[in-house]
Amino acid sequence: MKKECEIVQDLLIGYQDGTLHTYSKELVEKHLKKCEECNKVFNEMKKDEVEGSIQEQEIDYLKNVKRKISKKNKLLIAIGTILTIVILLNIVVFAYYYHEARKVQIYLNNDVTEEQIGDIKNAITNIDENAKIEYHSKEDALNELKEKFSDNKDLLSGYGGDNNPLNAYYVIDASMENARKIEGLEGNLPGIKKITTNLSYNPYEFILSNIAIELTSN
């Protein structure tokens, strides 16, 4: 290789980058016009530069695609997590509602007779023979109330025995459909003071009201 070719090929990178001084630039251009070998080297350099540029563009494109996919995946994961939480929350709310709202409380008059009690029980079992019937006496009702107000026992210290204003009651655990039918016994049977249920609530109101009761009682 001629010495001039060696010098020019050393300068080709600077010439390609446009960083050569005027004299060196003119030297390279003049030499390239007459030297086929150096032209070949220079063309290969330009080709490599183009290919390198294309590769960089492809890499940048792939990086951008990867970033977009990553953002999309994160968004999908976040949406999926929120939906899962919402679904699980709804399952818990509805399960709690259907377990608790179907319970019916039948409060008895203080002067209820044994015959009337028997009629009430028969009416319940005729509606739902599988219903669970739990009796709470006047004393039970008072003790339950005292337990709720355990931090203020003095408020109820004067109540008990004949001085008990509460009523005995039944708690009936029936199906939702039969709970509505049992609710309809109020006013139709003597001995019943009132019947209460939570069937009028929707599941969300029901659970919120229970949370509110727990918070106020604590």
pLDDT at 217: 57
Residue with the two structure tokens 């003597």: 190
pLDDT at 67: 77
Neighbouring CB atoms inside 10 A of 142's CB total 19
DSSP state of 192: E
What burial class does residue 45 get, using C-beta atoms within 10 Å of its C-beta: 0-12 exposed, 13-18 middle, 19+ buried?
middle
Mean pLDDT taken over the chain: 82
- Band of residue 106 on the pLDDT scale cut at 50, 70, 90: very high
pLDDT over 80 (residue 115): yes
Q: How far apart are CA 101 and CA 202, in angstroms?
A: 9
Is domain 102-200 classified as CATH 3.30.70.3040?
yes
pLDDT at 51: 60
Q: What is the rounded radius of gyration, in angstroms, for the C-alpha atoms of the chain?
A: 44
pLDDT for 171-187, tens place per residue?
A: 999 988 899 999 999 88
- Band of residue 167 on the pLDDT scale cut at 50, 70, 90: very high
* Cβ(170)–Cβ(135) below 8 Å: yes
Mean pLDDT of 12-17: 74
pLDDT at 48: 66
Q: What is the pTM of this model?
A: 0.55
pLDDT at 71: 79
What burial class does residue 188 get, using C-beta atoms within 10 Å of its C-beta: 0-12 exposed, 13-18 middle, 19+ buried?
exposed
Residues 6+ apart with CB under 8 A from 127: 174, 178, 181, 182
Q: Which residue has better confidence, 12 or 130?
A: 130
Residue with the two structure tokens 């494109």: 61
Mean pLDDT of 100-107: 90
Cα 56-57-61 angle, rounded to 5 deg: 115
Mean pLDDT of 67-85: 85
